[in-house]
Amino acid sequence: MPVISEFKNRQIHWVWGGISPALRSQLIEFWRDNGAIQDPFEAWRRSLEVACVAFDSSEQIVGVSSVYCAYCAQAEAPYWFYRTFVHEDSRTGGLAPRIFTCTFEQLKLAYAGENEAPIGLMVIAENPKLETAPGIRIIQRAGLLLLGRTVSGQSVWHRLFNPCVMGPTESQPHG
Side chain identity at 166, as an amino acid letter? M
The fold of 3-160 is Aminopeptidase (3.40.630)
User: Which residues neighbour 148 within 8 Å (Cβ) at sequence distance 6 or greater?
Assistant: 74, 155, 156, 171
3-state helix, strand, coil in the chain (%, to 5): 30, 30, 40
Total residues belonging to the chain: 175
Confidence at residue 21, expressed as pLDDT on a 0 to 100 scale: 97
In tens, the pLDDT along 59-89 reads 999 999 999 999 998 889 999 999 999 999 8
Q: Is pLDDT of 92 > 80? A: no
Task: Supply the pLDDT for residue 53.
Answer: 98
| Per-residue confidence band for 91, with pLDDT thresholds at 50, 70 and 90 | confident
Instruction: State the Cα–Cα distance between residues 44 and 47, nearest whole angstrom.
Output: 5
More confident residue, 151 or 92: 151
Question: What average pLDDT score do residues 48-58 get?
Answer: 97
Residue 90: predicted pLDDT: 86
What's the rounded Cα separation, in Å, for the pair 150 and 172? 16
pLDDT in tens, 138-150: 899 999 999 999 8
H-helix or E-strand spanning residue 12: strand 10-14
- Residue spans of the domains in the chain: they are 3-160
- Whether 146 and 171 have beta carbons less than 8 Å apart is answered as yes
Mean of pLDDT values over 47-52: 98
Structure confidence at residue 159 (pLDDT): 96
